[in-house]
Structure 1
Amino acid sequence: MEPEIFINLQRRVNQYKEVLANTVEYREIWLASLRQRIVDTLEAVINGVGLEAEVEVRSEMDNLEAVVLSLGAMKSGMAERVNESVRRDLVKYNGALVYQQLFNGKVIVLINYPYIENYGQPRPPKTIAIYRPEELREPYFIRHLEEFIQEVTNWEDFDDDEPNQRIGFHFNFPSGGEPDADTPTDKT
């Protein structure tokens, strides 16, 4: 067979080998420095802003570890009546920001929403992004925490009468549906 017919296949094989090598490298970086840098950065930020949270490493599975910033758990204020004299408090889990190793050594950043046990279904986690180790820089941690706090605040302040974003035809018009005289219109 002529070597020219292998050009595309060889390119794909080389790419495959590079991806496998990256996985090994990303895992080594996680163990050597990234895991601790995530912990240190999150702790510095929560201490700096006075957020009551706990940062912990979950390492039950090698190469699938996670750094979790948890807002903890507490009594929800609701209780199940077991009988006339016994009530069982429902526990509320206040949410978490998770930095989890993926199978390929990259890091996925997730928001685990608050939920109350035995009260509806927990909302599925929200994926913020997936990063290679070298992409995770301090400004990203701040942005992740801002988004996390915003999502948790929205969950806590749930009210279907006040949607977060107003959309629709009448958004920029007064109640009559006509443009306000002071509102510029695009007439080109």
Structure 2
Amino acid sequence: MNSISELTQEYTAVLQKVQERRACWQAKSKPFLIQFLSGVTEKHKLNWKAGANELMLGLEAVYLVFDHEPSGIVEQSPFSIVQKMKIGGILSFSQTRNGQIVVWISYPFIDGMAEDKPKNDTLETIEPEEITEENVTRYIQKFLVEIIEWENNARDEIGFVRHR
């Protein structure tokens, strides 16, 4: 069994690594992501934008998100007509409590048509220094493949809820 001395040294090293990750995120990874993702949205004209959630220092996120748009589904009743909105689709690079970055996707959904919250998938957990042009490009490609598949496949049709 490890001695208390060895464990305290290990814990000190872990705390130092967390600080290094956070410093790397602030100095390099976050500014790179904001610039790179903004460049992608400018170059490739879709109904999307890049942004950052900086409300909680140490748990920040940089993301690509599709804007809300009409889904093409309209609910009609004798008293109203309601255009159902398609809510985004997000690729997020989110800090964790230990400074690592979780890359994840939130799939689009049609507001008011499903009982569940949007489906989320984690792509990978990485170190801030692994945020490179090559890796981010790969994540964007995976995100777009998933969004295309969501649009093409009727995988969420069964079990939708109608609100009257």
TM-score computed with the length of structure 1 as normaliser? 0.74
Contact 1:45-1:142 at 8 Å conserved across structures: no
Aligned to 1:11: 6
CA distance in 1, matches of 2:118, 2:90: 12
* Overall identity of the aligned pairs, in %: 26
TM-score computed with the length of structure 2 as normaliser? 0.84
Following superposition of structure 1 onto structure 2, how do residues 87-166 of structure 1 map, counting pairs within 5 Å? 87-120=81-114, 121-159=116-154
CA distance in 1, matches of 2:81, 2:136: 41
Structure scoring higher RCO (CA < 8 A, sep ≥ 6) equals 2
Unaligned runs of 5+ in 2: 156-164
AA partner of residue 41 (structure 2): I
CA shift for structure 1 position 123: 4.0
Contact 2:41-2:50 at 8 Å conserved across structures: no
AA partner of residue 18 (structure 2): T
Contact 2:24-2:129 at 8 Å conserved across structures: no
Count of residues in correspondence between the two structures: 154
Higher strand share: 2
CA distance in 2, matches of 1:22, 1:51: 38
Aligned to 2:158: none
CA distance in 1, matches of 2:26, 2:108: 29
